[in-house]
Amino acid sequence: MADGMYVSMNGAAARAAQLEAVADDLANAQTSGFKASRPAFATFLAEGGQGQLNFPALVGAAVDLRPGATLVTGLPTDVLPDGGAFLAVSAGDGTMAFTRNGRLQADGHGRLSVLGHTVLGIDGQPLLVPEGSTWSVDGQGTVLANGQEIGRLALFQLSGDVERRGQSLYVPGPNGQALAVEAGVRTGELELSNVSPLAAAVEMIGAQRNFDTSMQAVQTYRRLDERANEVGRTR
Amino acid sequence: MEPEGETPAMIRSLYTAATGMEAQQVRLDVTANNLANANTAGFKKERAEFEDLMSTVQRMPGAADQRFPGEPSPLEVGLGVRTAATVRSMERGELINTKNPLDVAIEGAGFLQVRLPGGDLAYTRAGNLRVDSAGQLVTVHGDPIEPDISIPTDATNITIRRDGTVLATVPDRDGPQELGQLELTLFPNPQALVSLGRNLLAANPACGEPLRVRPGEQGSGSIAQGFLENSNVKAVEEMIDMISTQRAYELNSKVIQTADQMLQRLTSLR
């Protein structure tokens, strides 16, 4: 059988994986602080095979860190860090994770949190608001409870590899790092997902057409093989 | 909902898109409830909050792939979305001047306490109070306000001060008499209150320790007599939400169609 069939098969498999990434992006089109994933493709040469055949494959999924659309909520407890900075939160296992979802809430113990994850201040400690106080965040990321300063939100810039942790949390990958930065925040605004429904829909159509083309190629190779068999037939 | 074990990519796309459609349904449910309560006194709108689901790591970061020498980056594809919570917006609603002496609005944070038939406490922002046949200050549903305030049926000129003191003129007594004191409850995390229906909210551990105060103290709001707090639902915002929900739902259903067509194409190979 011709090697080309396997090239086409790999192409079709890569497009199916691409559709999966698009499906995930579109499902999260309304998730605050969600960052779209961008699948990356590369070709590889078969080991010991013919050198001129390039097999396509999905090799990685990068996280698109561009800012998403802004929703003006007017709530003094919603924050949007400037310059693409991330809020630091304590993930379930005690490690630090980062999020752009700035919907702050005080939990039952008075700790500021985002969807159940405790938000950290610049000293690496949770920010505690006294019971029954009304609190807000100012433009410098300072948390004020009843007019008293109780701490400042820790802000980080992610660079290099970024990995997804789910729940709109991100952590730096093996080749990435998180650097503490001085940045302001915008209060009363929230970042929505940065998924562009238009781009995702176009990508979906592209993936499907490419998949169809690869499938067509598989069929063509099959017909070629059949023809080759007929040529060799003696009768 | 998710299939067990390893599934081919296109089938996973089907499930991923289904999570998206489910999330949009929840969002529409929330919007519908908000719109239905656009004129409910003391109603606080909710908003569905979503979070992305854990990704499947198809290749661990740093794991070598012999096909691609060099620095490997992780290959992880997410599995869709789920509704993390519905968050109640405690934004203040508009105050409506009703001129009814038993209507009170809370100008700021805090909730009135209501005693349920079972003895438990519930909390409300709806200040459309009444006096029942026994002279007890109650909600429109007849549940008494805690602490108890008795207003004699022949009392006139009921005044509720900004600090919650209830005064009235009673026959045979000189001047306004103090009949009781409205109190408010503050929560560290009022967004976590759970709706009981009938404008009532119930506390739970996630709200934190309730703190009972006199109106105007410790950051709580003061009482405005003759006013009612309308719901904080903004119809235009909800309509826009509804439109974007519908479109997002459609897009997710398109993913299912696309995955289905690709699967069809695959099965027609033979």
Chain segment B216-228, per-residue pLDDT in tens: 988 889 999 999 9
Q: How confident is the model at residue B1 (pLDDT cuts 50, 70, 90)?
A: very low
Burial A181-206 (b: 16+ CB within 10 A, else e): eebbbbbbbbbbbbbbbeebbebbee
SS3 content of chain B, % helix, strand, coil (to 5): 25, 30, 45
pLDDT at residue A211 is higher than 70: yes
Is the CB of residue A168 less than 8 Å away from at least one CB of chain B?
A: yes
Q: Is the pLDDT of residue A48 over 70?
A: no
Question: What would the mean pLDDT of B130-136 be, rounded to a whole number?
Answer: 90
What pLDDT is stored for residue A193 in this prediction?
92
How many whole angstroms separate alpha carbon A69 and alpha carbon B248? Answer: 15
Of the listed ranges A32-46, A100-114, A188-202, the one predicted with least confidence: A32-46
Least confident residue range of A56-65, A137-146, B108-117, B251-260: A56-65
Q: In the predicted model, what is the mean pLDDT of residues B70-84?
A: 75
Backbone angles phi, psi at A34, to 5 degrees: -75, 140
* A34: contact with B, CB 8 A cutoff: yes
Residue range A176-182: mean pLDDT, rounded? 90
Query: Which token pair is B197?
Result: 């229906």
Res A114 pLDDT > 80: yes
The arithmetic mean of pLDDT across residues B22-27, rounded, is 94
Among B2, B11, B13, B207, most A C-beta atoms within 10 A, so best to mutate, is B13
- Chain B contact present for A69, CB below 8 A: no
SS3 B87: strand
- The residue among A1 and A215 whose pLDDT is bigger is A215
Over the range A121-133, which residues count as b (16 or more CB within 10 Å of their CB) and which as e? bbeeebbbbbbbb
Contact A16 B247 (CB under 8 A): no
Comparing A152 with A130, the larger pLDDT belongs to A152
More confidently predicted of B75 and A203: A203
Distance from C-alpha of B213 to C-alpha of A29, rounded to nearest angstrom: 42
Q: What pLDDT sits at residue B2? A: 47
B213 vs B207: CA distance, rounded Å: 16
* Residue in B51, B56, B92, B233 to test binding to A, most A beta-carbons within 10 Å: B51
Of A31, A163, A201, the CB nearest to B74: A163
* Cβ-nearest to A166 among B49, B51, B65: B51
pLDDT at A166 over 70: yes
Is the pLDDT at A80 greater than 80? The verdict is: yes
- Determine the residue type at B181: Q
A167 touches B at CB < 8 Å: yes
Average of per-residue pLDDT across B238-256: 93
Whether the per-residue pLDDT at A44 is higher than 60: the answer is: yes
Mean pLDDT computed over B57-68? 59
Residues B162 and A117: their CA atoms lie apart, in Å, by: 38
Residue window 137-156, chain A: list those with CB within 8 Å of chain B: 146
How many contacts does A have with B, using Cβ atoms within 8 A? 220
Q: Does A91 touch chain B (CB under 8 A)?
A: no
Cβ distance of B51 and A165 shorter than 8 Å: no
User: Residue A1: is its pLDDT beyond 60?
Assistant: no
pLDDT of residue B143: 92
> Min CA distance, B165 vs chain A (Å)?
21
Tell me the pLDDT band of B65, cut-offs 50, 70 and 90. Answer: low
Q: What global pTM score does this model have?
A: 0.80
Name the band, by pLDDT with cuts 50, 70 and 90, for residue A176: confident
User: CB of A215 within 8 Å of any CB in chain B?
Assistant: yes
B104 touches A at CB < 8 Å: no
Q: What is the pLDDT of residue B63?
A: 56
pLDDT confidence bin for B68, thresholds 50/70/90: low
Q: Distance (Å, rounded) from C-alpha B208 to C-alpha A112? A: 12
CA nearest to B233, candidates B81, B26, B30, B45: B45
pLDDT at B32 over 90: yes
Residue B63 φ then ψ, to 5°: -70, 130
How far, CA to CA in Å, does A113 sit from each of A128, B75, B136, B229?
Answer: 10, 29, 41, 28
**What's the rounded mean pLDDT across residues A224-235?**
80
As a whole number of angstroms, the distance between CA A202 and CA B106 comes to 50
Confidence label for A203 from pLDDT (cuts 50, 70 and 90)? very high
Q: What pLDDT does residue A105 have? A: 86
Q: Which of B78, B208, B265 sits opposite A24 (nearest CB)?
A: B78
Residue A47 forms contact with B (CB below 8 Å) = yes
Residue A133: is its pLDDT beyond 80?
Answer: no
With bands split at pLDDT 50, 70 and 90, how would you rate the model's confidence at A165? confident
How far apart CA B219 and CA B108 sit, in angstroms, is 8
To the nearest whole angstrom, how far is the Cα of A7 from the nearest Cα of chain B?
Answer: 14
Chain A interface, best mutation among B19, B251, B261, B263, by max A CB count within 10 A? B251
Nearest chain B Cα to A36, which residue? B78
* Record: contact A115-B75, CB cut-off 8 A: no
pLDDT of residue A175: 82
Find the closest chain A residue to B74 by CA distance: A60
**CA B136 → CA B71, B118, B119, B215, distances in Å?**
75, 17, 16, 20
Q: Looking at CA atoms only, how far is residue B107 from chain A in angstroms?
A: 13
Subunit contact B67:A24, Cβ cutoff 8 A? no
pLDDT digits (tens, 9 = 90+) for A20-37: 889 999 999 989 999 998
A187 touches chain B (CB under 8 A): no
